[in-house]
């Protein structure tokens, strides 16, 4: 027994200390196992809260025709993110990545192989392309900011429309978006005037200053509008629309009636407190735990919400392992060639 424990400890130590580009088959399988356990534990906990009998009743007769339709939404979301990624990478005289290379970056960043999250991978790809570290960090922050620059206003509009229509505000979700987005925007605009002073402050102020720098850089792509800015906004909008549509189709597979589009947007944005590319292991466990409850806050019963999220995550997370695996190999070979030169 002691030998087994020692072996497990050695594997975990190597897994934690080694860079993900140095991960071999054993580390990749460990990443899959960790992500699977996190997702399974979250789903089991939600199923217990919903009642196993109720879950079994809803799983008995799904409408199978909706699953390939949902898969189409996932494909569209990947295409959208690829477009956004390509446009942002080329902006401001950035590196001209080939299409297959960008596809590998996007697919791998959405896989479960990156313990530190997909944005860590994005930064390393830029470093391999010869982008200075500070500039690479700024470009990655701009990518992350663009995600929420599209999703947050959509959630705000959805919350406002539901509020005007008199839709019941469970758990204060509508109010949090109605108040949070304008207040956050106003605070950001006020802080922009003090960006240089914040940059000379401590660690926390430096973090705020770097965020504000990303805001300015993103804004310059739209004021005045540039080709790269419009292309990136279109691609990111397609990404969110495709992913939300996939969730809607999965709900259709387990429900006779479905929430309105506005309610679904609100639940989706709430369930994704942090995006897949931000979270370790593409959000395995976190999304499965939060998104079903976010759907209940807009009127979906917990049992069909759980099953819909399970089907949705099979499509947008676990099927994503298929393109992410060769994508990881492509990026490892690309990094090796850079090291040789």
Torsion on CA atoms 272, 278, 279, 281, rounded to nearest 10 = 120
High-pLDDT (> 90) share of the chain, %: 49
pLDDT digits (tens, 9 = 90+) for 71-107: 999 999 999 999 999 999 888 888 888 888 888 888 8
**pLDDT at position 33 over 80:** yes
Q: Are 252 and 66 in contact (CB under 8 A)?
A: yes
Instruction: Give Cα 197 distance to the centre of its chain.
Output: 32
222: which strand partners?
A: 225
What integer is the mean pLDDT of 115-142?
85
Taking alpha carbons only, the member of 94, 195, 191, 87 closest to residue 135 is: 94
Dig out the tokens for 160 from the structure.
């406002």
225: which strand partners?
A: 222
**Domains identified in the chain, total number:** 1
pLDDT digits (tens, 9 = 90+) for 188-215: 999 988 888 888 777 888 888 889 999 9
Q: What is the mean pLDDT of the chain?
A: 87
Give the position of tokens 């019941």.
168
Residue 27 DSSP SS3:
helix
| Domain coverage including residue 293 | 2-340
């Amino acid at each position: 027994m002691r030998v087994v424990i020692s072996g497990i400890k050695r594997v975990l130590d190597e897994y934690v200390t080694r860079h993900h580009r140095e991960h071999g088959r054993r580390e990749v399988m460990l990443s899959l196992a960790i992500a699977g356990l996190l997702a399974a534990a979250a789903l089991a906990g939600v199923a217990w809260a919903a009642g196993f009998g109720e879950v079994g009743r809803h799983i008995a007769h799904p409408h199978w025709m909706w699953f390939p339709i949902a898969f189409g939404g996932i494909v569209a979301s990947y295409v959208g993110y690829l477009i956004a990624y390509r446009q942002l990478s080329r902006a401001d005289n950035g590196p001209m990545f080939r299409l297959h290379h960008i596809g590998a970056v996007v697919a791998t960043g959405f896989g479960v192989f990156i313990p530190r999250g997909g944005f860590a991978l994005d930064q390393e790809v830029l470093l391999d392309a010869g982008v200075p570290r500070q500039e690479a960090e700024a470009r990655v922050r701009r990518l992350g900011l663009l995600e929420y620059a599209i999703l947050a206003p959509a959630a705000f509009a959805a919350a406002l429309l539901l509020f005007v229509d008199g839709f019941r505000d469970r758990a204060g979700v509508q109010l949090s978006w109605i108040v949070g987005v304008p207040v956050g925007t106003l605070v950001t605009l006020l802080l922009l005037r003090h960006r240089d002073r914040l940059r000379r402050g401590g660690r926390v102020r430096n973090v705020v200053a770097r965020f504000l720098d990303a805001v300015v850089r993103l804004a310059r792509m739209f004021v005045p509008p540039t080709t790269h800015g419009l292309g990136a906004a279109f691609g990111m909008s397609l990404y969110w629309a495709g992913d939300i549509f996939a969730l809607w189709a999965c709900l259709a597979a387990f429900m006779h009636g479905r929430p309105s589009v506005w309610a679904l947007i609100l639940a989706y944005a709430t369930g994704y407190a942090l995006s897949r590319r931000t979270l370790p292991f593409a959000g395995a466990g976190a999304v499965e735990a939060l998104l079903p409850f976010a759907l209940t806050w807009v009127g979906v019963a917990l049992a069909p919400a759980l099953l819909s999220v399970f089907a949705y995550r099979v499509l947008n997370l676990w099927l994503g392992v298929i393109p992410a695996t060769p994508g990881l190999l492509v990026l490892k070979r690309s990094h090796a060639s850079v090291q040789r030169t």
